[in-house]
Amino acid sequence: MKLYFASGNPHKKKEMSRLLGGWELVLPKEEGIEFDPEETGRDFIENATIKAEALYSIVHAPVIADDSGLMVKALGGKPGIHTARYGEEEKGRKLSAEEKYMLLLENMEGVEDRSAMFVTALCLILSPERRYIIQESCSGSIALAPSGTAGFGYDPVFYMDEAGMIAAELPEGEKDRYSHRGKAARLMRMLIEKEAGR
């Protein structure tokens, strides 16, 4: 099954392709499709649904969308749905992944309770009448300093409780076992395989 992936992020595409077991994932930009929907949802599920519906309305073919974010207890659940744009409003420009996680560490300076979780919502639309939504999470904490070179995004500063390591220190396959996206994608993969066998 060819799946359009409602994202512009090649790192996410690589990870999602691996997690879904080799299904052909296509980013909109790879087919010359302009795609940048406004994410106005109040939570991850709403934003994943907005992205999936927007792309489905263009391609009229199976679409999967993801919305993920980091929720830090000491910051009142922020950055949450604004994780990908963290700090950009106050800085007035786009920030690199390193700038974002270093800003997070700066904002967490002196904070004792560093508990946090990553959340992923996936929305699969096969037709206007048939869709699946899955949300999963991964508990952990914000490290005192970045570590590791694997992964992407906030991985260098996120300690995964279940793995007992910082996410960026884990090889890809190991990270998939524990990550929020890994848990959600495994469930979604079962649904997709069931659909493909219908």
Beta bridge partners of 166: 159
H or E stretch covering 101? helix 97-107
Going from the N-terminus, what domains does the chain have, and what CATH number goes with each?
Answer: 2-196 (3.90.950.10)
Q: Are 8 and 27 in contact (CB under 8 A)?
A: yes
pLDDT for 99 equals: 95
Q: What are the pLDDT digits (tens) for 49-80?
A: 999 999 999 999 999 999 999 999 999 999 99
In the predicted structure, residue 198 carries a pLDDT above the cut 60: no
Q: Are 163 and 144 in contact (CB under 8 A)?
A: no
In sequence order, the 6+-apart residues with CB closer than 8 A to the CB of 26 are: 2, 3, 4, 5
- The strand pair at 2-5 and 24-26 is best described as parallel
Q: Average pLDDT for residues 124-150, to the nearest whole number? A: 95
CB burial readout 65-84, b (16+ within 10 A) else e? bbbbbbbbeebeebbbbebb
Per the prediction, the chain carries an average pLDDT of 92
Query: How confident is residue 9, by pLDDT bands cut at 50, 70 and 90?
Result: confident
H or E stretch covering 138? strand 130-142
Is 67 annotated as catalytic? yes
Tell me the C-alpha distance between 44 and 26, whole Å: 22
Given the residues 36, 66, 67, 176, the one annotated as active site: 67
Tell me the C-alpha distance between 192 and 198, whole Å: 10
- The letter for the amino acid at 191 is L
Tell me the C-alpha distance between 78 and 70, whole Å: 7
pLDDT for 18 equals: 85
